Amino acid sequence: MGSMITLGIGRMEIDWGKNNVYRDHAALFQSKDIKQVPYYYVDTDTDEAIIEMKEGYSRKLSSVKRRLDLLGYSIYSIRKLYENSIRECEEFGYKVRFTFDDFYSTLKSIDVPQVDTVKIAVKYDENGYDLGEYVRKCILEDPQIKEHLPITYDEQEANDWRNPKYDLGEFFENLDPYITLRILAENPNNGDLELQWNFADVVENGWVKREEIVHELTPKEKILLVTEGSSDSFIIKKALVSLYPDISDFFNFVDMEENYPFTGVGNLYNFCLGLARIGIQNNIIVIFDNDTAGVEKYELSNALNKPKTFFITKLPDHTEFLSFRTLGPQGEINENINGKAVSIECFLDFNSIAKIPSIRWTSFNKKIERYQGELVGKDEYTRAYKNCSLIDGSYDSSKLKFLIDYLLTQWIKAQG
């Protein structure tokens, strides 16, 4: 009969594979997620379900949600993916009268812990179901779901091709399982449920090698993050590793050991110009400072013709910068420094050194008639950051979280 490899939440299986034919789900997990997890089988003599503990991946769905976003399955993109699947299915003659909104509301209403594909397999078929059969024979027959279906059908056999339920089953059998998974992750009640990838059987029986299952993200899945200076990259990298360990492995940084190649806004702009000209296809996020020089080059760079995987942004505006102490030709006054003097050091904890946070105006840009400013003592803030812990509560990381969340949201929306 062969060996099965399954992706599921508890007893609700979402994707199946057999022997060496399967979808690689390693990108949903990290190596630390490998643990002993339950495997569900059917005793062919007694038709009873049995459970064995074996090696597999397991991660909370709330954490998998972030990884799905970075893999291109955000809430912004799955609607388009779903509708593309409908069009492809209809090209083969199937009529799918089940909109994304229907699918979304139906999945969000499912009580996942109550779904038991193992029990269904015991009752109906020793080989279990494929997704299409499971949808036709079980999900679509649930009274609460059936009541809201946008189709009507008579009581024909579920596998009768004349039954509209058959069209739905065929559609769901070929639907990308990550669309289903991402919608399930939208329900906060599912956040603590464990997503499991049970791969032990195909490894133990010699169909695949363990290293083909247990591996890091591929270069295609990674994102290169480039900033105006090496300290900027260090600050973001430390924040990701400390505050976002569940997704930090998605990001690569330019080697900063010596001679950082993009120091300064001009060099970073030239880098963008060069990559745009060659039509780079890698995942890249370029971040300009939110100061006078940075905004000017950001706007020029963002106007370049480039693929969506080459994303250019700038540091975000923040309410704390709306009225900020500045030092310059007009003396000491409070000003809005957003777009004029916000560097990444402004997102560090201002209480980490004994100094009043201040911006000093350093030069005047005649072209746009605006001063360029710099945070006083920014190197001291950076040194304090290098020696701090972001996880014990001793350092105020609220602005760093704001920054990372902003960058993630902007990237994810751009890819949708």
CA atoms within 13 A on the CB side of 286: 34
**Cα gap 381→359, rounded to integer Å:** 13
Tell me, what amino acid is at 269? Answer: Y
pLDDT at residue 143 tops 60: no
Q: Please list, in sequence order, all residues whose beta carbon lies within 8 angstroms of the beta carbon of residue 354, skipping any fewer than 6 positions away.
A: none
Q: Confidence class of residue 218 from pLDDT cuts 50, 70 and 90?
A: very high
Q: Please list, in sequence order, all residues whose beta carbon lies within 8 angstroms of the beta carbon of residue 361, skipping any fewer than 6 positions away.
A: 326, 327, 328, 329, 341, 371, 372, 373
H or E element that contains 66: helix 61-70
Q: Please list, in sequence order, all residues whose beta carbon lies within 8 angstroms of the beta carbon of residue 377, skipping any fewer than 6 positions away.
A: 353, 355
Tell me the pLDDT tens digit for each residue of 323-379: 999 998 888 999 999 999 999 999 999 999 999 999 999 887 777 677 889 999 999
Tell me the pLDDT tens digit for each residue of 250-277: 999 875 445 566 566 888 888 888 878 8
Tell me the pLDDT tens digit for each residue of 95-111: 777 789 988 888 887 78
- Beta-strand pair 223-227/251-253: parallel
376, β-bridge pairs: none
**Cα gap 276→293, rounded to integer Å:** 20
Nearest C-alpha neighbor of 41 from the set 71, 6, 14, 76:
6
- Greater confidence (51 vs 160) lies with 51
For the entire predicted model, the pTM comes to 0.86
Contact 185, 178 (CB under 8 A): no
Q: Read off the tokens for 56.
A: 């597999």
Q: Please list, in sequence order, all residues whose beta carbon lies within 8 angstroms of the beta carbon of residue 85, skipping any fewer than 6 positions away.
A: 171, 174, 175, 176, 179
CA-to-CA dists, residue 407 to 26, 288, 345, angstroms: 24, 12, 16
Tell me the pLDDT tens digit for each residue of 276-302: 887 777 899 999 999 999 999 999 999
**Cα gap 265→293, rounded to integer Å:** 7
